[in-house]
């Protein structure tokens, strides 16, 4: 029961803040910024794929600055090739993950409701899945949790495709203040390519 409360308390706190009358909102600004931070400019990169949620792109989310901000292991690298819809603007690069390679993104803003991530992926002969994890950190940079959120099969990504909308499902550990994405190829051979990753810092309907 204690473990379940740990995950539900942030959601309850956020719901309470959303219910506060506008006249009193100013009194709660410091708390609101912790629970519902302003994460940056929104766009609608997946609107062509029947996804009307608003997302923002964190630093170097399209790999046009090479590996800047990303931590790569196991032979991962930034190569040539962009997702064909150019939802992040014109680009020519993408992340390449050979067998066993992993890439961890720069830190990005989230809040305590229900953050979701989405990107574009392509299996370049990979014979295993692409694993997606979300890594949660506290105010001091301490690790607060790792969530295994999706595993993508190569058969679904023989060409560039938008990934599933990957949600944390209200599973943020208490006192989490920011997060990272970790992408890992579990293929024995072949490569995965990933491009233009975006974050919806909270799922609260359209916009």
pLDDT tens profile 64-122: 999 999 999 999 999 999 999 999 999 999 999 999 999 999 998 886 666 789 999 99
Model confidence band, residue 177 (pLDDT cutoffs 50, 70, 90)? confident
**Quick one: DSSP state of residue 167?**
E
Could you list the beta-strand ranges (E) of 2-160: 71-73, 77-80, 93-97, 102-104, 108-109, 116-124, 130-138, 143-152
Closest CA to 37 of 111, 137, 116, 138: 111
- Predicted local confidence at residue 168, as pLDDT: 66
Main-chain dihedrals φ then ψ at residue 103, nearest 5 degrees? -140, 130
Range of lowest pLDDT (1-15, 104-118, 168-182): 1-15
Place of tokens 């993950």: 97
Domains of the chain: 38-200 (2.60.120.260)
pLDDT tens digits, residue range 114-170?
Answer: 678 999 999 999 999 999 998 888 878 888 888 878 899 999 999 999 999 887 655
pTM confidence score: 0.79
Distance, in Å, from the CA atom of 72 to the CA atom of 129, rounded to the nearest integer, reads 18
Q: What is the DSSP string of 64-107?
A: TTTTTT-EEETT-EEEE---TT-BTBS--EEEEE-TT-EEEPPP
């Amino acid at each position: 029961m204690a473990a379940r409360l740990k995950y539900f308390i942030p959601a309850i706190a956020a719901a309470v803040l959303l219910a506060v009358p506008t006249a009193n909102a100013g009194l709660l600004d410091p708390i609101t910024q912790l629970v519902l931070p302003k994460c940056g400019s929104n766009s609608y990169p997946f609107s062509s794929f029947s996804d009307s949620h608003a997302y923002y792109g964190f630093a170097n989310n399209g790999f046009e600055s090479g590996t800047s901000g990303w931590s790569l292991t196991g032979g991962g690298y930034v190569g040539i090739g962009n997702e064909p819809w150019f939802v992040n603007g014109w680009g020519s690069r993408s992340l390449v993950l050979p067998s066993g390679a992993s890439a961890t993104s720069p830190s990005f803003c989230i809040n305590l409701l229900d953050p979701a991530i989405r990107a574009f992926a392509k299996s370049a002969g990979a014979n295993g899945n692409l694993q997606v994890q979300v890594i949660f950190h506290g105010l001091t940079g301490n690790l607060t949790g790792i969530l295994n959120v999706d595993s993508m099969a190569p058969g679904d990504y023989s060409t560039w495709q938008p990934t599933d909308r990957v949600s944390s499902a209200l599973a943020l550990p208490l006192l989490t203040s920011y997060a990272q994405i970790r992408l890992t190829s579990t293929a024995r051979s072949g490569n995965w390519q990933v491009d233009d990753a975006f974050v919806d810092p909270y799922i609260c309907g359209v916009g």
